[in-house]
Chains A and B, each alone.
Chain A
Amino acid sequence: MKLFPMPFHSLLLFVVWLLLNNSVSAGHMVLAAFFAITIPLLVNGMRDEHPKILKPWLAIRYVLMVLKDILTANVEVALLIIGPIKKLKPGFVAVPINISSDLGITVLASTVSLTPGTVSAEVSKDKAWLYIHALHLDNEAELIESIKQRYEKPIKEIFGC
């Protein structure tokens, strides 16, 4: 049996534990090391296979882009909420997706929920359609195109699926 079956997760647990306690004292280091070793040993058996991040730099750029989009999304939605409600045209939209991995779909759906005016509601059984609700549906085709170009393409490249 390997001591570190999930090296990345061990490191993550170690760092997160220290961050949560906001200290680097010896006692917390020992406790963090204990968690970093035992938790992966316990949960390794029930892990699903996930695609690996193939392009880390693209992933970092994607995260930064999403953070920027979240910022604009916040302002946009705040303005829509304050502005005239009667002018809003809400609507459901079906977005065709072709990401094969569950992790990729999850990342895409979460991004869609966090970015301007859209919340993802459901994924079809065959994993080919993502259903979203838009707060203000201006141009359906444009919205679908922007989601595919801006978010789906980089996710496909990052996970290579």
Chain B
Amino acid sequence: MPLYLEIIVCVSLLIGGAFLLVGSYGLVRLPDIYMRLHSPTKASTLGITGVLLASMVFQSHLKGFLSIQELLITLFLLITAPVAANMIAKTALHQRTKPLDKTENQALMETVRDREAPKPPQD
């Protein structure tokens, strides 16, 4: 394997790994469930993409033809991650999970739960 390919594989593995680590760290560090949702939907997509990119380059070199299977995984991830996040958010709202105290517009949560239009602000 030529050196430049090794460098590409290493760099994308490192970047991917770093983002995955940050994404998982976010799950531990962020205080409430609504905020925790942000870290797997975002920080992890780039992390997975980095790892898959490394796999793509490595496999293409190993097999001698362009391996684009990995692109499909990224595509599926991009389609499913928002849906999963949406379902988790819905569930949390239905369980009336308390958000962080300083969360803004907490009054909205009940209308969101009932899927109503927001009430006009009361004076």
Contacts and interface: CB of A to CB of B under 8 A. Distances in A.
A116 B45 CA distance: 13
A78 B43 contact: yes
A56 interface: no
Interface string B78-117: 1101110110011001000001101111101101110111
A85 B105 contact: no
Interface string B17-46: 001001101100111101101110111011
A5 interface: no
Given A89-B104, A121-B89, A19 B117 contact: no
A102 B2 CA distance: 49
B69 A81 contact: no
Contacts of B32: 90
A129 B117 contact: yes
Contacts of A114: 41-42, 45, 78, 81-82
Given A81-B39, A85-B29, A88-B35, A22 B69 contact: yes
Nearest to B104: A91
A19 B75 CA distance: 12
B104 A92 contact: yes
Interface of B: 19, 22-23, 25-26, 29-32, 34-35, 37-39, 41-43, 45-46, 67-69, 71-72, 78-79, 81-83, 85-86, 89-90, 93, 99-100, 102-106, 108-109, 111-113, 115-118
Interface of A: 16, 19-20, 22, 70-71, 73-75, 77-78, 80-82, 85, 88-94, 109-114, 116-117, 119-126, 128-129, 131, 133, 135, 137, 140
7 contacts: A22-B67, A81-B22, A81-B26, A90-B32, A90-B34, A114-B41, A133-B37
